[in-house]
Amino acid sequence: MVSPAWGRTFRSVLLLVATVAACTASPRTEVIVVVDTDLTIPDAIDRIAIEVTSPSGATQEAIATLGEGEPSPPRTLGVLPEGGVLGPYDVVARGLLGESEVVARRARFSFVADTTAVLTMHLVDDCVGQDCGARTCGERGCEDVARVDLSVWTGTPPRLGETPPPLDAGVDAGSEDAGPEDAGEVDACTAEICNDADDDCDGRTDEGLGGDEVCNGMDDDCDGTTDEGFALQTDLENCGECGRRCVFRNGEGICNAGVCTVTSCTAPFDDCDGSGDNGCETDTDASASHCGACRNVCRNPDRFCCSGTCARGC
């Protein structure tokens, strides 16, 4: 299930023996998992682990060491379908420090036959300590585990912040292939969503749907309205956009006009950068740049901040 090319990038611990397809002239069915991070290496994380579980329950794991003398992220892992079964497959990417898990991200995907696709699983600092419940945390906050956003493998792994080209499954709306959308037709069979279309290519439309609405930009309850009942201008769990959760460290705040806004801080912490995204981030008892109050800078000879007062030493 794990491609042998992974061994050049990952130091792999395979829990099961991989079944590797023989080289043929036909197109390769493969998903390349790409992991980049904005976490500090090796202080915040020193390893990346990827675990892949097939529809049969077989699990394999690959581990990459980070730091001096090791390749910098992004790291890539090639995954092949087990026994020709296209999906669904479950993936967990973890950022580790020693034996401790610092951050994790989950995804569920299916292969596209005769296609090499990319699944990005970037690990971001904003997800550390973030609880998304049954969902998972990515670059834009909490998101669904099921992924239908596979992208094209260009030969270069997409970095954090880049938008890779969307996957195109080939000719599907006429005699020639016009790109990822092809006059409005769906390129590849994906998970069914409420859109009056047969997304999963089973000949039925919107089957099995009509459950509770969740904030995800989709019409989950099939009533023709998207994300109804969610107040993006005031909702602390979905502030400004679905999944953008306001977390006010060392203080309290509100979602005001779609922006996380600090309203009060717990002393000695203060919101010195004016950003609601990181709460009351500054300890004014110890910060030489904000000693006792924001923007009160300690300069020579009193260049240390000791319990909120500039001094020569603490």
Read off φ and ψ for residue 163, nearest 5 degrees. -110, 105
Average model confidence (pLDDT) for the chain? 82
Q: Where along the chain do its domains lie?
A: 4-171, 251-311
C-alpha distances in Å from residue 206, one per residue of 113, 192, 216: 23, 6, 17
Regarding predicted confidence, which is higher, 20 or 158? 158
Q: What residues contact residue 261 under an 8 Å CB cut-off, 6+ apart?
A: 253, 254, 255, 276
Strand-pair category, 100-109 with 89-97:
antiparallel
Please report the pLDDT score of residue 266 as a whole number: 96
Regarding predicted confidence, which is higher, 210 or 74? 74
The three-class DSSP label of residue 218 is coil
Please report the pLDDT score of residue 188 as a whole number: 56
Q: Specify the pTM.
A: 0.52
Contact 147, 105 (CB under 8 A): no
Most confident of 110-114, 131-135, 174-178, 267-271: 267-271
Mean pLDDT of 148-175: 74
Q: What is the pLDDT of residues 67-94, one digit of tens each?
A: 999 988 999 999 999 888 898 999 999 9
Confidence of residue 15 (pLDDT cuts 50, 70, 90): very low
Mean pLDDT of 190-210: 72
Q: Which two tokens stand for residue 132?
A: 């998304």
